[in-house]
Chain A
């Protein structure tokens, strides 16, 4: 429920500990990092904000970047511009490709990776990409913390489940040498859950054999399409795939799309999803 200007209460914790303590005392406080998603969708002179807000962008503890040989950790308030600057040498290239498809540089300087994941009503551009990369997230609350796979944060309907007292503080993205990394955001009109589609595909090969294959589709709504059975079936196949294999896989995929969310997807999304997967499969080893 939005509040008039005079009823908006803004909290500005000085440290992460302060923030966690605030969240324990006032679980209804909503976190505000970049705010791009909220403000882009409210073009009123005075945007409608929730009555209790915690401004967290300034917290250094949430802006840290840490890299090891096996993974990179990004604080939830690291901006998309910052990740883009670090670039595809350090960060999985598919994530960089996805970030570059979002807004313009001045928008990316505000938008944060945590904000992109935590939008309540929609799974925005980076969510499917991070899901595919086996990203784990740190969830902290006063007196405790846990790491969870991003997969576990969403249910089958695409709803996000983070408890009211928890805060997503860090993301840990495994660093794997993917031979094929591809992200594309398509839109047939205004960016919306009916007219937009993002595709993310990653794969690894070794001596002409597919050792890992993953792909996912996202809309600007809650729909996420990923079929692990099809992915598993492809592993250990020779690439390039034979035409008859391509057709068989595509038929499976088509059946999966029809079965899983036909009413939630527009003909544009279904059509483009088919094209993207056929193209990605055909490009492996080619």
Chain B
């Protein structure tokens, strides 16, 4: 179990290992009355909350997540007990036979009428006097937008293997946040962090949920190893993966907008209710991202924002690239398209009039820096022939008297724009990172970082950058396996931090080594770190300053076709223009954006993934690389839903957009 970085967790075995299966809650919420186990064979052990040697919780993103449900079940699929035994199928079969008796509670759901005990965080922002602005408005437009995207099929392996050693415990798991696993295992076992060694097994781009689940599973597995005194492996079954790893963050956002005489936005009132499942992992972070995106794109003089983050009785959501931004931009951009239509303007023209000015401040006085959105809108409008198609579709829609059982297609086109940030807004610990590099006397470079390097191509990007600076061949660059005993803490590998943070620290190390290497004898070791809070000019309390540096930007046009008989939606074209600061590898960036667009279509309820988007990058020389992960998700959904609205002549305001919903509107 020394070199596991290239192995999948489900291929990893050690001599004498026990298998662990979790007894999982079959209800969404309730109180546990009794756990009734079948007669267990002598070599099978059941671990309940009372058997835990350390604390029954790990901490993640300001939330406490219990290892095992104590008296209360908080979500469906929550682990209630663990079964360990030598035979994998048998422990899974026995886990199914354990009967948990509950007093059922009402499931907590995402709704505007949430219960008071669901509330985790809230934020209110008031700028200027919205009341006066609404009194003076030429038009007031209201809309409610619901964003509950569907998760994708989890393909990768998930789980953990723990081995108790003389001086501590060793754990292997596929994770995007190596040192958080260590912290969690230490908390669960009661061991000091120095006595916990964590190694990451292979993480692939398909493994999107590699933050909370690995930390929790590793902690449960480590506890099982401590209690049984034997190596223990717990692998997520396909059912568990579907149940626990497909959840995405969701929100309901209400916009009320005051428009002036020429259609300009004068005031905004925004109400947000958001959730990411039970416990509210990273709830404060998501809430800030939601608030920033919901209030930030368009110029307005006054704003009233009321946002609440609630807990629901579903498994915790995965922390994906767009987290928070995707739901907010869905609401803002679909609403913007509606505003444009009510002003009888082309939505691209309306946007150009109402977007923040270049280097302008958002209504909360957040600084956006250079704002290339106008340029990006012009580019996608031209590439897609948006204006002509939009007007043609509007004409057809107005004529639209064709019965919907006559075969044919209804066409629609939609546009959206967004900004995107590649770090945590409020979690300083998650923002900090350290990278170390060592150049030896053979001019071989070792990169030491705990980052998971996802997607796999990141390894090449980092190796090539380092090789270029040091003028060595990329084959002389080695990235050391992610092992807490050998590498420094580089933070979580999400929000494109590999290219925005780790790459920056790496190049800084390499540049310093390059300056020293011909003056100082080799080997040279160099470390660079970034402190999460240091030098940040963002004040989360008053929502002012620079929220992300640098920001990335995107604009997207989606053209769809709706079969009038079957209501099947197909994509006729997607055009996306992105300003990513600068790109480290355009080909791989294109690949990332294209696959994200396909996933975004599925998240919206689409199925046929085979469409070829037109992707353009607008780079700025000298700019730093900004976040790409998640940006396509942010803009696809609003452009897509707006396109369907244009095609059908009905305002759609939710994701996923099901055929049932379309049928319901068109048949009434």
Contact = CB atoms under 8 A, between A and B. Distances in A.
A–B touching in complex (CB under 8 Å): yes
Interface residues of B, number: 25
A189 B405 contact: no
B663 A271 contact: yes
B138 interface: no
Contact of A44 (B90, B237, B403, B567): B237
26 contacts: A5-B89, A44-B92, A44-B239, A45-B88, A45-B92, A45-B237, A46-B89, A186-B566, A186-B568, A186-B659, A187-B659, A188-B659, A188-B660, A188-B663, A195-B660, A267-B660, A267-B663, A267-B664, A268-B663, A271-B664, A275-B565, A276-B565, A278-B403, A278-B405, A279-B407, A279-B565
A195 B656 CA distance: 15
Contacts of B239: 43-44
A271 B405 CA distance: 11
B152 interface: no
Given A272-B663, A279-B407, A184 B237 contact: no
Interface of B: 88-90, 92-93, 237-239, 242, 403-407, 565-568, 605, 658-660, 663-664, 667
Interface string A247-283: 0000000000000000000111001100110110011
A162 to B, nearest CB: 31
A184 B660 contact: no
Interface of A: 4-5, 43-46, 184, 186-189, 195, 266-268, 271-272, 275-276, 278-279, 282-283
Given A278-B405, A282-B405, A283-B407, A43 B565 contact: no
Contact of B667 (A266, A271, A276): A271
B406 A275 contact: no
A188 B658 contact: yes
Contacts of B566: 184, 186, 272, 275-276
Contacts of B667: 271
A189 B660 contact: yes
B238 A189 contact: no
Contact of B89 (A45, A188, A195, A272): A45
A279 B402 CA distance: 13
Given A5-B89, A188-B660, A189-B658, A43 B405 contact: no
B242 A43 contact: yes
B660 A275 contact: no
A279 B563 CA distance: 12
Contact of B406 (A44, A195, A268, A279): A279
A268 B659 contact: yes
A241 to B, nearest CB: 13
A275 B92 CA distance: 46
A4 B659 CA distance: 41
Contacts of A278: 403, 405
Nearest to B658: A188
Contacts of B88: 45
B408 to A, nearest CB: 10
B19 to A, nearest CB: 10
Given A279-B407, A283-B407, 17 more contacts: A4-B90, A4-B93, A43-B237, A43-B239, A43-B242, A45-B88, A45-B89, A46-B89, A184-B566, A189-B660, A267-B663, A268-B660, A268-B663, A271-B663, A275-B404, A275-B566, A278-B403
A195 B406 CA distance: 23
B439 to A, nearest CB: 46
**9 tightest A-B CB contacts, nearest first:** A278-B405, A43-B238, A188-B659, A188-B660, A268-B660, A279-B405, A46-B89, A279-B565, A271-B663
A262 B88 CA distance: 46
Contacts of B659: 186-189, 268, 272
Nearest to B605: A189
Contacts of B404: 275
Contacts of A195: 660
Nearest to A195: B660
Contacts of A45: 88-89, 92, 237-238
Nearest to B405: A278
A44 B90 CA distance: 12
In the complex, which of the residues B239, B405, B568 has the most CB atoms of chain A within 10 Å of its own CB atom?
Answer: B405
A278 B93 CA distance: 50
Contacts of A4: 89-90, 93
Contacts of B664: 267, 271
A279 B407 CA distance: 7
Contacts of B660: 188-189, 195, 266-268
A17 to B, nearest CB: 35
A275 B88 CA distance: 50
Nearest to A250: B405
Given A43-B237, A44-B237, A184-B566, A282 B92 contact: no
Contacts of A266: 660
Contacts of A271: 663-664, 667
A124 to B, nearest CB: 19
Nearest to B607: A187
Contacts of A184: 566
Contacts of A46: 89, 92-93
Contacts of A189: 605, 658-660
- Which of A189, A275, A276 has the most B CB atoms < 10 Å from its CB? A275
Nearest to B241: A43
Contacts of B237: 43-45
Contacts of B605: 189
A195 B239 CA distance: 21
Nearest to A42: B239
B177 to A, nearest CB: 27
Nearest to B656: A189
A71 to B, nearest CB: 31
Contacts of A272: 566-567, 659, 663
A5 B667 CA distance: 51
Contacts of B90: 4
A271 B566 CA distance: 10
A46 B21 CA distance: 14
A70 to B, nearest CB: 33
Contacts of B238: 43-45
Nearest to B87: A5
